[in-house]
Amino acid sequence: MVHAHDARHGSPLLLRPFAIALLLPLIVVLTVAILLGLLGIFVAWLTVVAVLITAVVASDLARRTMRHWARPPAALKRQAAGFPGR
């Protein structure tokens, strides 16, 4: 049995255009906050990746430089004159 009162109000979860208009600023603020948070996380992730890549490149360059400095000059690599095996 349906009462006139129930038919007039409808479903309690039905959002009318006025209710959506009232909630719209809140929805926009939440959306902007979420997107800015995601952008911040992405920028922080890019910073971490850039630091890691920079560390790898700097380590490689330092290793190559140390190897270059540790190698004796070409003049010291020459064989001594004389008989082999002596």
pLDDT at 46: 98
**33-48 pLDDT, tens digit each:** 999 999 999 999 999 9
Mind listing the pLDDT tens digit for each residue in 15-27?
688 878 888 999 9
Longest alpha-carbon distance in the chain: 121
pLDDT at 13: 67
- For residue 11, pLDDT over 70 is answered with no
Q: Which two tokens stand for residue 76?
A: 């010291």
Long-range contacts of 4-12 (CB under 8 A, 24+ apart): none
Interacting residues of 15 by C-beta distance below 8 A, sequence separation 6+: 23
